[in-house]
Structure 1
Amino acid sequence: MGRHWKSRGIKGAAAAVGVLVVAATAVTITNTQAAPDDEEAPLAITNTLREKAAIPGTAWAVDPGTNKVLVTADSTVTGDRWNTLVSTVDSFGSRAKLTRTSGTFRPFAEGGDAIFAGRSRCSLGFNVTTADGQPGFLTAGHCVQAAQRMSLTPGGRPVATVQESTFPGQGDFALLTYDNANTNAPSEVDTGQRRKVRIVRAADARVGTQVQRMGSTTGLRSGRVTALNATVNYPEGTVTGLIQTTVCAEGGDSGGPLFSANGNAIGLTSGGSGDCRNGGVTFFQPVRAALAAVGARIGGGQSN
């Protein structure tokens, strides 16, 4: 998944897809220190992690079943950085668990349908209608670092222009509008083999639910939502408020749609580590938050 472009406005068009492969050895850090009150513990812990251990190659989220903060470090976290992370997690006692993964957190430049910024490929997320009735679409914010306009073929004629983008920071999303206001932009996801899923609404993710993802590299994949409001520390910066899942993804899947079988738009592929041969953990931008930020709604738009 990868890159950015207008802080809340344009930030490059390069596609990517991070996948956090948790093919790792769990290193559980515990000690006998007293833990904070149940309701305060996760917030206090994540605040401390942001202050003391926002290290590139790390991520964390709260396990709703145990109320424990799950911290993951990829293979780039070594030496003093690893020692800092271990000591920080150790200070939380039994309220936190540290896991080491063999993969690396990264955005993949290269989705639904493939879209290109120059020759960098990403995936189109969901078609939307802007506040003024124009047809447009959502994709990942890091996908729009290479260019302000995107095409349907490598180096091809631009068909859409970036209007807003966020990455890193409070999300990973971008809004583009089609250059031709009469573009037919149906509210559906093409899942291949002449099959399509009609997208009828935007919905929040729920832990434990089954979801599907479509991307231009690996096609249709499915998995389960494991955590909400996850924080990921990419090399480009920290991104907060993401959905964490077990769905695999690879480079070029970035920006692609996360949805349910009954037509709910849920997220946009952001990043992680791993691939679809070995599995992994992926992170997604919640669609409802992106729509609220850019003032758009799910559903294809077409100007009269």
Structure 2
Amino acid sequence: RVAVTEKSSASVVSTLASGKTAVEAVLVERGMDELRKMSDALAKRITKANKGARQGLQSAVVTEKNVLRLDVPRGRKLTDEQRSVVRWAERKFGDALVVDSYRHASRPVYCGGQYSCDPPLRSGLAIYGGNTRCTSAFMAYDSYGYYMMTAGHCTEAASYWEVPTYSYGYQGVGSTADYHFGHYGDYAIVRISDTAFWQPRGWVYTTQPIRSWGYDYVGQYVCKQGSTTGYTCGQITDVNATVHYPGRTLTGMTWSTACVAPGDSGSGVYDGSTAHGILSGGPNSGCGMIHEPISRALSSLGVSLLAG
């Protein structure tokens, strides 16, 4: 399906595609450039309104519905500035805006005398498998156990993982439980084989706890903590992007301007206490970051984030 904003364009699309593939031209009211400009304007106001708030507003372009979505935290009281942003957006965008709510909070887990056992955002911790070094992202769980999240392409070179410790050299973490690296994403989970792994042992990681996960939108500010380049941040420039790797094409990815380098793969991408993705890669030169949206990774793997 190809979206067009003018009826005259529909016949052009059909003519160009004739005899090659089945293409349906769909007439929409707003083009992608217009939606992105709307998203940028809203993102600037959201960023300002969310500062100091316990729960943030978030937004995204919904291409299949040709609208901009603004999500408010379900069951949470908004600040005066956040309410002002919602009212402004409703007046400014009219029927081009859909206001919805989100409730993606992760669950605290009690174990061994402490909650969460370790900060669930452990991005920045180098993980080793064979000759491969990547970075850990968020911690997750399901009814079968606890997991460390990382990039799917890391697991193609190794299945068993170790982490460095200051006192013990290297300690085993566990084996890859599930992963995907291909057209629909780049994500993996490593099953924690030893519950002692959860206890802090001086490993380097940020202490920022993760409370929930959210969707990406153009103009949003995101950060990552990698085992190569450390803490870097940037703004999202493209969502639902198609990325061409050597021998692989990935769809539905997110681009931002943060700087990354080899070894950062698998880092958790986040904004404050909200998880947004798993670092997948970057450009051949210069700064830039590609990440797998956390919503798709969690859904595909069937796991939930641990809360800090």
Q: What is the TM-score normalised by the length of structure 1?
A: 0.58
> Which residue pairs with 1:159 in the alignment?
173
How many residues align? The count is 198
Structure 2: which amino acid aligns with 1:280?
Answer: C
Structure 2: which amino acid aligns with 1:267?
Answer: G
> Which residue pairs with 1:73 in the alignment?
none
Whether the 8 Å CA contact 2:163–2:173 is kept in 1: the answer is yes
Whether the 8 Å CA contact 1:128–1:298 is kept in 2: the answer is yes
Change in 2 beyond 3 A, CA 1:168/1:185: farther
Change in 2 beyond 3 A, CA 1:169/1:36: closer
Indicate yes or no: 2:127 matched with 1:115: yes
Higher relative contact order (CA 8 A, sep 6+): 1
Q: Which SS does the other structure have where 2:288 is aligned?
A: strand
Identify, as 1 or 2, the structure richer in helix.
2
Indicate yes or no: 2:92 matched with 1:125: no
Q: Which SS does the other structure have where 1:198 is aligned?
A: coil
> Which residue pairs with 2:226 in the alignment?
215
Whether the 8 Å CA contact 1:170–1:240 is kept in 2: the answer is yes
Indicate yes or no: 2:239 matched with 1:224: no
Indicate yes or no: 2:5 matched with 1:38: yes
Sequence identity percentage: 30
Q: Aligned equivalents of 1:200 and 1:185: distance in 2?
A: 20
Whether the 8 Å CA contact 1:203–1:266 is kept in 2: the answer is yes
Indicate yes or no: 2:262 matched with 1:282: no
Q: Structure 2: any 5+ residue segments left out of the alignment?
A: 22-31, 39-122
Q: Which SS does the other structure have where 1:290 is aligned?
A: helix
Indicate yes or no: 2:247 matched with 1:199: no
> Which residue pairs with 1:20 in the alignment?
none
Whether the 8 Å CA contact 1:211–1:258 is kept in 2: the answer is yes
Change in 2 beyond 3 A, CA 1:225/1:185: farther
Q: Aligned equivalents of 2:211 and 2:269: distance in 1?
A: 13
Of the three residues 143, 153, 158, the one matched with 2:154 is 143
Whether the 8 Å CA contact 2:238–2:255 is kept in 1: the answer is yes
Q: Which SS does the other structure have where 2:185 is aligned?
A: coil
Indicate yes or no: 2:298 matched with 1:299: no
Q: Aligned equivalents of 2:182 and 2:151: distance in 1?
A: 11
Change in 2 beyond 3 A, CA 1:230/1:185: farther
Q: Aligned equivalents of 1:139 and 1:185: distance in 2?
A: 19
Cα shift readout 1:110-162 (whole Å, capped 9, x = no counterpart) = x6200011131100010111243x11111000011122111114994531110
Q: Which SS does the other structure have where 2:223 is aligned?
A: strand
Structure 1 residue 37: deviation in Å? 1.6
Indicate yes or no: 2:270 matched with 1:259: yes
Q: Aligned equivalents of 1:157 and 1:266: distance in 2?
A: 28
Larger-gyration structure (1/2): 2
Structure 2: which amino acid aligns with 1:174?
Answer: A
Structure 1: which amino acid aligns with 2:278?
Answer: L
Q: Which SS does the other structure have where 2:283 is aligned?
A: strand
Q: Which deviates the most, 282-291 or 151-160?
A: 151-160
Q: Aligned equivalents of 2:255 and 2:5: distance in 1?
A: 22
Structure 2: which amino acid aligns with 1:235?
Answer: P
Indicate yes or no: 2:36 matched with 1:65: yes
Change in 2 beyond 3 A, CA 1:38/1:213: farther
Change in 2 beyond 3 A, CA 1:235/1:288: same
Of the three residues 143, 167, 174, the one matched with 2:188 is 174
Q: Which runs of 4+ in 1 moved over 6 A?
A: none
Q: What is the TM-score normalised by the length of structure 2?
A: 0.57
Of the three residues 220, 223, 247, the one matched with 1:236 is 247
Q: Aligned equivalents of 1:39 and 1:181: distance in 2?
A: 59
Cα shift readout 1:11-31 (whole Å, capped 9, x = no counterpart) = xxxxxxxxxxxxxxxxxxxxx
Cα shift readout 1:228-251 (whole Å, capped 9, x = no counterpart) = 111111013111111111111001
Q: Aligned equivalents of 2:276 and 2:3: distance in 1?
A: 33
Q: Aligned equivalents of 1:130 and 1:208: distance in 2?
A: 33
Q: Structure 1: any 5+ residue segments left out of the alignment?
A: 1-34, 53-61, 68-110
Change in 2 beyond 3 A, CA 1:39/1:239: farther
Structure 1 residue 190: deviation in Å? 5.9
Q: Aligned equivalents of 2:191 and 2:155: distance in 1?
A: 13
